[in-house]
Chain A
Amino acid sequence: MHHATLKGAAWSDLYEQHAQHVYYLALRTVGDPTQAEDITHDVFLKAFRHLDQFRGHSSVRTWLYRITINHCRSVQSTWQQRNIVATDNPEVLDGPSPNMEDPLRVLEVKELGQRIQKILDALPAEYSLLLLLVADEQLSYQEIASLTEQSADAVRGKLYRARKAFITEFQKTE
């Protein structure tokens, strides 16, 4: 990506390092690839506009995730208010295109992605978010606690229950 108005390399690095993680968190939170694209675009636009507000007290990843979580909540709340179910969008049902060329593997990965999405949708939103955050090895428990506005001990307790709930749902889909 090239941005003439910025010190290009720094902004480009920020996008390269974090965009895929932001997109994945958004995708598995809202369950719609098109919405996840919009959210990722908006998150980076917000980040660009508010670069001066980033104090460096948290990691860049944590800062971007905070914007992502808030934006996902806002999008979800708007959907609920409008009572729209986006099942007519074939991408919602199919999921996004996987990262590969072998058709058999594509099918396999798509199926697994759809299954994971179903499970995350079935779990309490708080559990899904915790599992998605803990899967990112760059985040510490303290950072996850800060992002979800609770203590690290509460995160540990809920994660234990979230993992169990996920596995129960996973087994149901077998």
Chain B
Amino acid sequence: MDTNPSKSRLKHQQQQEQASEQQITSRAGHEFASVEDLLRYDAKQTALPPAIAERLQDSLKTEPPPKRSWWQRLFGI
């Protein structure tokens, strides 16, 4: 098991490079180097519905202010 996040990220990148051997082509002719690339493209094309922010704003109006943890107080969040 990796304990070092930077080492883990490096391996992550290496695995993504290996994954790139398996290229995917969409019906529209887009080529994706890997499954991850395809999903990233899909994620980017997926719009966040603005209604969520509006609903959340309404819901938060009735919420009491959250308790702040030590790190939030420290960073002034």
Q: Which residues of A come within 8 Å of B, CB atoms? A: 1-3, 5-7, 10, 15, 19-21, 23-24, 27-28, 33, 37, 40-41, 44-45, 48-56, 96-100, 108-109, 111-113, 115-116, 131-132, 134-135, 137, 140-143, 145, 151-153, 156, 159, 162-164, 166-167, 170, 174
- The CA of A48 and the CA of B16, in the complex, are separated in Å by 34
Q: Is the CB of B22 within 8 A of A19?
A: no
Sample of 7 A–B contacts (CB below 8 Å): A24-B46, A48-B66, A49-B66, A109-B45, A112-B30, A140-B8, A174-B27
Q: Is the CB of B49 within 8 A of A152?
A: no
Q: Is the CB of A5 within 8 A of B15?
A: no
CB neighbours (8 Å) of A51 from chain B are 66-69, 72
Q: Chain B residue with minimal CB distance to A33?
A: B49
Top 6 A-B pairs ranked by shortest CB distance?
A: A135-B39, A52-B67, A99-B47, A140-B8, A10-B77, A51-B66
- The CA of A33 and the CA of B68, in the complex, are separated in Å by 33
CB neighbours (8 Å) of B63 from chain A are 5, 45, 48-49
Q: Is the CB of B60 within 8 A of A141?
A: no
- The CA of A55 and the CA of B72, in the complex, are separated in Å by 9
For chain B, give the interface size range: 35 or more
- The CA of A116 and the CA of B38, in the complex, are separated in Å by 9
> 8 Å CB contacts to A: which residues of B2-61?
2-3, 5, 8-9, 11-12, 15-16, 19, 22, 24, 26-28, 30, 34-36, 38-49, 51-53, 55-57, 59-61
Q: Is the CB of A1 within 8 A of B53?
A: yes
Q: Pick from A51, A143, A151 the residue with the most CB of B within 10 Å.
A: A51
CB neighbours (8 Å) of B64 from chain A are 5
Q: Is the CB of B46 within 8 A of A135?
A: no
Closest chain-B Cβ to A75's Cβ sits at a distance in Å of 15
CB neighbours (8 Å) of A170 from chain B are 24
- The CA of A134 and the CA of B37, in the complex, are separated in Å by 10
Q: Is the CB of A3 within 8 A of B46?
A: no
